[in-house]
A and B are shown apart, each in its own frame.
Chain A
Amino acid sequence: MSQFSLFSSGIELANLVVSSGLLKLSWDKISELYTELNQSEEIRWKVYQQPQSNCIIVAFVVSPNRTKQLLEEEELVPSSSLPFFHFLRTKIDSSFSISKAAVTLFDCVLDQLSSFKDRVGNSISMIITGHCLGGSVASLFTLCLLKSINQPGTKRPLCITFGAPLIGDKGLQQAISQNLMWNSDFLHVAASQDLVPRFFISPYNPNAMEIDSQIGIYKPFGIFLLCSKYGCSSLEDPEAVSEVLVAMDLEIARNKPPNEQWHMFDYGAVVKRLMSTISFKGISQLSEMIECPRQAGIVLQLQAIGLNRRQQSGDSNPLIAKLEKCEEAFVSKRKMGFDPSKKLNKRKEDMAKLEWYKKVSKSEDKGYYDSYKNRGSKKDLHVVTFKKSLTNYWKEMVAEVERMPQKEEASFRTRWLYGGTNYRRMVEPLDIADYYKENGKKDYKANGRSEHYIKLEKWLEEAGKPLSSQVITRKQNVSASLTEDSCFWAHVEEALIQCELLRNGQEEESTRKKLIEFEEYVMEQIKEYAVSPEIFLGGSSFMQWWKDYEQIVGTSYKSQLTDFMKSRLYQQYH
């Protein structure tokens, strides 16, 4: 069993947060800011420079009256009307919604925040904090910051909210939590006595539970620091957070009159108490029955947040089992996470084998494209196996990149683009061969091309840098390199089909035009040293085309390509 599933580190992480003193630091700024809040003001924010450190704290508070009003609205705003947050969307899960209350408040300060953001840049450490709906605004502002921190060396911001309500739906949760770094940038402090953090997830809130309505249900993201009078613990898995928030709600409701007047909960006392208990052993106890450290960790967590007080009798709390399951699923999901570097060397072996195949085919005066297409020998069949594993690997890789938010994607791409491009140039011709082997199939580029090739090619174009820059070095090296346009052979196959059509006397005019376009295309590639000299091997489909074409156009026809071919200049192309 691996390290990751044996232990539950929630308590330790929570303890680290408390003893770091950052909670106190942040809350002190918030309570200072509350004293400056005017009667008429809806929302107030301020930047605090920390003495003797390169760290600033940005705090947000919202007027209690306004808070009460806004909390009545559970409405969500879909991402389509939130252009500011479009960067969060991935190509796969592209929509999410954010609570209207948070968006409304955020809009009030957006202009000021944007100019502030441009002014400070990413070089200083920033804590963004807020209480209640102020915390929601802090979260949204932090999200904006994430857009621009991608280069290594920039400081990651930390968002600490106190008693903030949930602000988004499953879409937002997924957008954030699938990025390990992003999810860890949010720390939500929620006290068990405070209703607000679980307001939108509470089984007692009829609006939040409406399943049939258009509005999605609110979901948590980020790391939660849950505290009670017994201590605190942290939870990361969003499923577990939901479970625990609901359990807390039920637990508290049991002990409180349901129609209690709502008030702003003061976190100052909570933070102070947590700080003062650092030196104490605490009163948590474990039954002697527990032998697994992970289960022990979960029991201690539940004790710390006040959810495991009531059964002393020994019948176990169903929540423990639930959380254990959550943790297991969460961890295994993480571990399953695609790690491209792991299999990289294996795939390099496949590429080396393909390279060798290419070389052997060349020595048979055929080129690997035609060798594979004809499947004349045993080695051609072997190729199928490693072609398949390579294709699976890169399809998975492309899908993984697609799942990433656009910003992250960019840096990921550059790292793998070299390998991806090599793969595409080497393997796509084989797919083309497979495609045209079936009788009557036409137009590979429109009908047969796999999505992942299109993506890989598009990324190379967007990267803007041709892989080998100068024609002169390409010339030196052309015999060892791959044809740059991985669809070259699809063009050849189309040209072959057109020759066939012409021979049968069909579609005279447009077909000829297409063939002339093909000629020009090939000539262009040759001039750029962008095609491999293997296309001129005796048994290649390209030479087959040339034989056909030469017959069709007759001896009087003259063009750059026919000159090049007839004068056998191609023999010097290497």
Chain B
Amino acid sequence: MTVWFLENLEKFIKSDPSTSRMPPICVTFGSPLVGDFIFNHALRRESWSHYFIHFVMRYDIVPRVLLAPLSSIEPELKIILHFLNPKHTTPMPEPTEEASALYVTVMRNASSVASHAACHLMGNTNKLSDTLLSFVELSPYRPFGTYVFCTGDRELVVVKNPDTVLQILFYSSQLSSEVEGPEIALRSVKDHLNYQSDLQNLETKGVAHLDNLQGLPLSSNVGAAGLGLVLNNLGLSTRARPCLCAAGELEDQKWRNLEKINKKKIDIERGLLALEGYKTRCEAGRVSYYDAFKLSKDTDDFNANVKRLELAGIFDEIKEMLKRYELPDEFEGHREWIDIGTRYRRIAEPLDIANYYRHLKNEDTGPYLIKGRPKRYRYTQRWLEYALKISAGSSGESCFWAEVEELCLRTINMGLFEDVKAHILSLEKQVDKWVQDRELGDDIFFEDSTFVKWWKTLPQLHRSGSCIAKFINN
């Protein structure tokens, strides 16, 4: 619901900028998990995750239930939910047995999820943890937003890092001893009803933030005060602590990576300016830089190629980091990076296309758009499409030349205009729009450009009625 609201909020603000609305806030108490890892990633990309605050009692089973596959807990869950239903009229005996069964199953599955995540957080390099996934079903549900854990000892612990939340969800309900078993199991059910009483006297409670996980005491003997006490109150064992450290470290590492990438902006800017200068110089000679690059006759073309490769190196590195989630989730939503990415894509991709068709790579690899397009352009295009909230693939102006090359080949090889007519019409329509929106330069209309030369081979009848005829000297 809040997600829907947030999505529409931007539209409201756009439609009527005078009203500065308060963004909504979503507060839940003992809510089951809602989304998967991607959901969390997407909310953080939009910087929305701080609008969600989830209160969770230390033992409450409900927020943890979906860490187990539903099929494994269905019968017990039914009875427990019935018990928890405030409207159930007939008094019901405490579901001791079901609570125990549910607790054990949920904990076992939560343990799998938490350990699998911890292996990743700790940078485990072996593939066993992934191989196991083809044999066992791991719940896809993951926490998102800010969590507030109620330790039951007049303390609230605020946790923002979703990786940490996941670990705490498991570790904080572990038992200290076997005797505790049945009691805690029952408590895990009853805690779900205790939010009101526990949160009543909020002003008497201490609030601790578990944000900086670096200096975390690893030994549970350090428990007199401070962070150590908080961890002990949450019941986090010695084993849990390296996991929390790892979650914090991974997050920090992401920000350090971002810093590293931000430092490259200077190099990128230099490269972009060089390519833009190259384009302008070509245009001064009434040649599209695409065509000039495809011929690669002059030193200037060669220098542009070196710049193209330098930039490719940087953007490939960014792409690799994104693929491995090594940059903060917010990265793909950074205005500045979206702009740089778009500028890069528009200026550099035509050169990659020129290079591709110059070396006839289409002959053994297939059309550029299908097999040859480097991922760095797919990524940067997606950034923009997310930011503008337009459908995937609708910002394909940087692939214009690949479309032209393929159409050239098709009209030469098959000769039949009718077969490709629909394709040509749609490209012309797009070109009209791209040029008017200044997403595509008008250098494509130079007299000797590959595009114009090809376009002029089309039937006269078609050309005279075309929406781009106005751009081309006939």
Contact = CB atoms under 8 A, between A and B. Distances in A.
Partners in one complex: yes
Interface of A: 2-4, 6-9, 11-13, 15-17, 19-22, 55, 125, 127, 155-156, 158, 180-181, 183-185, 187, 223, 234, 236, 275, 278-282, 284-288, 290-291, 293, 296-297, 300, 331, 334, 341, 345-346, 348-349, 352-353, 355-356, 359, 418, 465, 467-469, 473, 477, 480
Interface stretch (B11-19, B103-111, B274-282): B103-111
A287 B219 contact: yes
B135 A127 contact: yes
B126 A353 contact: no
Given A278-B111, A279-B103, A480 B119 contact: no
A275 B111 CA distance: 11
Given A8-B242, A13-B128, 15 more contacts: A2-B253, A12-B124, A13-B129, A16-B111, A17-B128, A17-B132, A19-B108, A55-B135, A125-B135, A127-B135, A155-B134, A280-B175, A286-B221, A290-B218, A348-B312
A223 B119 CA distance: 14
B310 interface: yes
A280 B174 CA distance: 5
B134 A284 contact: no
Contact of A7 (B128, B245, B309, B364): B245
A282 B245 contact: no
A12 B174 contact: no
Given A19-B115, A468-B360, A281 B125 contact: no
B126 A469 contact: no
Contacts of B320: 341
Given A3-B249, A7-B123, A467-B364, A279 B115 contact: no
B227 interface: no
A346 to B, nearest CB: 7
A57 B246 CA distance: 35
A12 B220 CA distance: 19
A285 B223 CA distance: 13
Given A280-B178, A353-B306, A356-B302, A345 B245 contact: no
Instruction: Name the 8 nearest CB pairs between A and B, nearest first.
Output: A345-B313, A7-B122, A184-B127, A9-B122, A16-B115, A281-B237, A3-B123, A9-B124
B126 A359 contact: no
Contacts of A183: 126
A349 B104 CA distance: 59
B368 to A, nearest CB: 15
A418 to B, nearest CB: 8
A286 B115 contact: no
30 contacts: A2-B123, A3-B123, A3-B253, A4-B123, A9-B123, A12-B122, A13-B126, A19-B109, A155-B134, A156-B127, A156-B131, A158-B135, A280-B176, A281-B171, A281-B174, A286-B221, A288-B219, A296-B218, A297-B242, A334-B125, A345-B313, A346-B313, A348-B309, A348-B312, A352-B302, A352-B309, A355-B302, A356-B302, A468-B360, A468-B364
Contact of B119 (A4, A13, A275, A418): A13
B31 interface: no
B239 interface: yes
Interface in B132-163: 132, 134-136
Contacts, number: 196
B363 interface: yes
Q: Which of B103, B109, B115, B175 has the most CB of A within 10 A?
A: B115
Contacts of A7: 121-123, 242, 245-246, 249
B65 to A, nearest CB: 15
A289 to B, nearest CB: 8
Interface string B236-271: 011101110110011001000000000000000000
A16 B115 CA distance: 5
A288 B221 contact: yes
B79 interface: no
A8 B122 contact: yes
A180 B134 contact: no
What is the predominant secondary structure among interface residues of chain B facing chain A?
helix
A341 B375 CA distance: 13
Contacts of B123: 2-4, 6-7, 9
A279 B235 CA distance: 12
B132 A300 contact: no
Contacts of B176: 280-281
Given A13-B115, A286-B220, A349-B309, A6 B239 contact: no
A181 B127 CA distance: 6
B116 interface: yes
Contacts of A468: 360, 363-364
Interface in B184-227: 217-222
A278 B175 CA distance: 9
Chain B interface extent, by class: 35 or more
B296 interface: yes
Interface string B321-359: 000000000000000000000000000000000000011
Contacts of B242: 7-8, 293, 296-297, 300
B173 to A, nearest CB: 8
B136 A22 contact: yes
Contacts of B449: none
Contacts of B108: 19, 21, 275, 278-279
Nearest to B134: A125
A285 B112 contact: no
B112 A20 contact: yes
A436 to B, nearest CB: 29
A473 B444 CA distance: 27
B355 to A, nearest CB: 9
A287 B359 CA distance: 64
Contacts of B359: 480
Contact of B127 (A180, A334, A346): A180
A15 B238 contact: no
A225 to B, nearest CB: 10
Contacts of A477: 360
A473 B360 contact: yes
Q: Which of A2, A341, A352 has the most CB of B within 10 A?
A: A352
A427 to B, nearest CB: 17
B442 interface: no
Given A3-B249, A279-B174, A284-B239, A469 B363 contact: yes
Q: Which of A22, A55, A288, A465 has the most CB of B within 10 A?
A: A288
B235 A184 contact: no
A553 B242 CA distance: 83
Nearest to B242: A293
Q: Which of B103, B242, B310, B316 has the most CB of A within 10 A?
A: B242
A15 B250 contact: no
Interface string B79-118: 0000000000000000000000001100111011001101
B430 interface: no
Nearest to A52: B71
A364 to B, nearest CB: 14
A181 B130 CA distance: 10
Contacts of B302: 352, 355-356, 359
Contacts of A349: 306, 309-310, 313
B474 interface: no
Q: Which of A9, A13, A127, A331 has the most CB of B within 10 A?
A: A9
A345 B312 CA distance: 7
B115 A300 contact: no
A184 B111 contact: no
Nearest to B298: A359
B105 to A, nearest CB: 10
A155 B134 CA distance: 8
B283 to A, nearest CB: 23
B118 A20 contact: no
A12 B118 CA distance: 7
Nearest to B132: A20
B180 to A, nearest CB: 9
A20 B243 contact: no
A286 B116 contact: no
B183 to A, nearest CB: 13
Given A12-B124, A223-B128, A480 B249 contact: no
